[in-house]
Chains A and B, each alone.
Chain A
Amino acid sequence: MIRRKVVLHFPREKVDKPIVSKLVRDYGLDFNILKASITPREEGLLVMEITGEEKDYQRGLEYLENCGVRVQPLSQDVARNEDRCTHCGACLAVCPTRALYMDSESMQVIFDREECVACELCVKVCPPRAMEIRY
């Protein structure tokens, strides 16, 4: 059993076709949509967590890519500009998954990308604007 977060980029012409639902029906995968911005006649973006067997996951991804969907691991979604982060900790107030937490020794804010669900709440809350959305 594996659990991965991915970002799916849908080309404009595929936005109005049912694609993702087949992951459940034909590939036995579960998914949880974390974020979606799909508007008709534009490129769509879907952030989701996929759960299932490794081989089904690989086949599912292949299917998506054959449909013209670009798949990207979520770790590239929210990134921290290390030069701008001052390690104040203001982001801790809004991070829902504790992907951002304070290391009690170094008193520096740790960003655990594995825990990040790309809710983007930290992006505008960060005073030096060190948290960036990267697609």
Chain B
Amino acid sequence: MGKTIQEINERIKSGKAVVVTAEEIIDLVREKGVEKVARRVDVITTGTFGPMCSSGALINLGHPKPRMKIHRAWLNDVPAYCGIAAVDLYLGATEMAEHDPLNEVFPGEFRYGGGHVIEDLVAGKKVRLRAESYGTDCYPLRKWEAEITIHDLPDARLFNPRNAYQNYNVAVNLSDRVLYTYMGVLRPNLGNANYCSAGQLSPLLNDPLFRTIGVGTRIFLGGGIGYVVDRGTQHNPDVPRTKSGHPKRPSGTLAVMGDLKGMSPRYLVGYSMLGYGATLAVGIGVPIPVLDEEVVEAAAVSDSDLYAPVVDYSVDYPQGTGRVLGEVSYAQLRSGEVEILGKRVPTASLSSYSRAREIACLLKEWIQSGRFLLTEPVELLPCPVRERGGGK
């Protein structure tokens, strides 16, 4: 057997496609078996919603009159990168508003940064633009101040160089002082264990060898439509894996892009990480076409089959020692307590499982209603295990 993406799209167009979420497929396979499910189901939808620092907005402001070659610019006092063409800007999610006290009074609150500007733009709020230039013969304007909304912008794209990490560390603190990290507050002496993945719902954990997700895959991005444009930065598929081929360490990543104008502030939320910085929580959902049984098998794994490494953020992570204290399953993490070095440690998540579920369900509805068609990737993402022909 085997289905093509074209065949699946035909079924979507005729309203006959069978779509299930990555959560629903688990029980379905338990009940009916891989073979039956692979024949019946056309698409599996995934979802994730969590802080993704490597995110930002690529904005074209449109020229004022007279024209301007922007040298420096701020949106709501958050500096944007201007080292590209005249009125193009890149606003990074972790950039802080100018004059923010940062960590001067520790731990800093980091109340407003690039991620918050992006949320405000998407929400349709007015944003204050301030721009400076040295002036040229072709672009004479030197100063520009205006209130803008997303509707005034000729182009506003979300362009995130690294999102949707395939698996991630569980952060703990072995020291005797509180740590303020990008993984949240870590209480001393293994006071808590923080994790950040949607586990069994997470896009890349449902296609561990990137057999279907590649360059050009159309996705749910921030409440609108986006695309996988490349492997993300730090994409590292060469990690230890379980027998089913699922990575046991942070592994693959996605670079994604999409039109900010169709997105929603429910799925792009500015985050403030105490003592660390500002960032953007991004909602992503990736559809997985059921091409064959192997696709179903990989997506049918549950939280109890997926493992994350436990890493100490007092010494090992900051010093880059590479030491892993142990591995715990996402089922254990989600139970609220894990055992680490013989101690029972309460867990907390930075990734919202309920919103990940919401995204997978929404994407399912979009596909069922024929509003969202699948795309054929023009190139698959690098993965030595797959390239060697080893499925498992």
- Chain A interfacial positions (CB closer than 8 Å to B): 84, 86-94, 102, 104, 106-108, 124-125, 127-129
B348 CB-CB contact with A under 8 Å: yes
Chain A to chain B contacts (Cβ below 8 Å), 23 pairs = A87-B352, A87-B354, A88-B50, A88-B281, A89-B348, A89-B349, A93-B184, A93-B185, A93-B346, A93-B348, A94-B187, A107-B334, A107-B353, A107-B354, A107-B357, A108-B354, A124-B107, A124-B274, A125-B274, A127-B184, A127-B273, A127-B350, A128-B271
User: Which residues does chain B contribute within 8 Å of A124, judged by CB atoms?
Assistant: 107, 109, 274
Return A123 CB to nearest CB of chain B, in Å.
10
Q: How far is the CA of A93 from the CA of B172 in the complex (A)?
A: 11
B386 CB-CB contact with A under 8 Å: no
User: Which residues does chain A contribute within 8 Å of B351, judged by CB atoms?
Assistant: 88
The answer to whether B269 and A86 have CB atoms under 8 Å apart is yes
Extra pairs beyond A89-B348, A89-B352, A90-B185 (15, CB < 8 Å): A84-B269, A86-B49, A88-B50, A89-B353, A90-B184, A90-B194, A93-B186, A93-B348, A106-B354, A107-B353, A124-B107, A124-B274, A125-B184, A128-B271, A129-B111
User: Which residues does chain A contribute within 8 Å of B375, judged by CB atoms?
Assistant: none
The answer to whether A91 and B271 have CB atoms under 8 Å apart is no
The answer to whether A91 and B348 have CB atoms under 8 Å apart is yes
Among B272, B273, B352: residue with most chain A CB under 10 A = B352
B247 CB-CB contact with A under 8 Å: no
- Chain B interfacial positions (CB closer than 8 Å to A): 49-51, 107, 109, 111, 184-187, 191-192, 194, 269-274, 279, 281, 334, 336, 346-355, 357
Among B49, B185, B281: residue with most chain A CB under 10 A = B185
Among B50, B346, B354: residue with most chain A CB under 10 A = B354
From B355, which residue of chain A is reached at the shortest CB distance?
A: A86
The answer to whether B111 and A86 have CB atoms under 8 Å apart is no
Q: How far is the CA of A16 from the CA of B300 in the complex (A)?
A: 67
A contact patch SS: loop
The answer to whether B187 and A93 have CB atoms under 8 Å apart is yes
Return B358 CB to nearest CB of chain A, in Å.
10
User: Which residues does chain B contribute within 8 Å of A91, judged by CB atoms?
Assistant: 348
The answer to whether A127 and B272 have CB atoms under 8 Å apart is yes
Contact of B346 among A87, A92, A128 (CB under 8 A): A92
A107-B357, A125-B274 given; A88·B349 CB < 8 A: yes
Q: How far is the CA of A108 from the CA of B355 in the complex (A)?
A: 9
Return B309 CB to nearest CB of chain A, in Å.
19
Q: How far is the CA of A90 from the CA of B351 in the complex (A)?
A: 8
From B335, which residue of chain A is reached at the shortest CB distance?
A: A104
User: Which residues does chain A contribute within 8 Å of B334, judged by CB atoms?
Assistant: 104, 107
The answer to whether A93 and B336 have CB atoms under 8 Å apart is no
User: Which residues does chain A contribute within 8 Å of B186, judged by CB atoms?
Assistant: 93
Q: How far is the CA of A102 from the CA of B336 in the complex (A)?
A: 8
User: Which residues does chain B contribute within 8 Å of A107, judged by CB atoms?
Assistant: 334, 353-354, 357
The 5 closest A-B pairs by CB, nearest first: A93-B348, A127-B271, A89-B349, A107-B353, A92-B348
User: Which residues does chain A contribute within 8 Å of B279, judged by CB atoms?
Assistant: 127
Return B268 CB to nearest CB of chain A, in Å.
11
Q: How far is the CA of A86 from the CA of B191 in the complex (A)?
A: 23
The answer to whether B354 and A90 have CB atoms under 8 Å apart is no
A125-B274, A127-B281 given; A94·B185 CB < 8 A: yes
Among B109, B184, B185: residue with most chain A CB under 10 A = B184
Q: How far is the CA of A124 from the CA of B155 in the complex (A)?
A: 34
Contact of B192 among A93, A102, A106, A129 (CB under 8 A): A93
The answer to whether A90 and B348 have CB atoms under 8 Å apart is yes
Contact of A125 among B185, B270, B346 (CB under 8 A): B185
From B119, which residue of chain A is reached at the shortest CB distance?
A: A128
Return B56 CB to nearest CB of chain A, in Å.
18
From A100, which residue of chain B is reached at the shortest CB distance?
A: B348
From A91, which residue of chain B is reached at the shortest CB distance?
A: B348
The answer to whether A129 and B272 have CB atoms under 8 Å apart is yes
Return B359 CB to nearest CB of chain A, in Å.
12
A127-B272, A127-B273, A127-B281 given; A90·B350 CB < 8 A: yes
From A92, which residue of chain B is reached at the shortest CB distance?
A: B348
From B270, which residue of chain A is reached at the shortest CB distance?
A: A128
The answer to whether A88 and B109 have CB atoms under 8 Å apart is no
From B269, which residue of chain A is reached at the shortest CB distance?
A: A128
Return A52 CB to nearest CB of chain B, in Å.
34
User: Which residues does chain B contribute within 8 Å of A87, judged by CB atoms?
Assistant: 352-355
Q: How far is the CA of A108 from the CA of B356 in the complex (A)?
A: 11
Return B70 CB to nearest CB of chain A, in Å.
31
Return A104 CB to nearest CB of chain B, in Å.
8
The answer to whether A127 and B51 have CB atoms under 8 Å apart is yes
User: Which residues does chain B contribute within 8 Å of A127, judged by CB atoms?
Assistant: 51, 184, 271-273, 279, 281, 350
Q: How far is the CA of A125 from the CA of B186 in the complex (A)?
A: 11
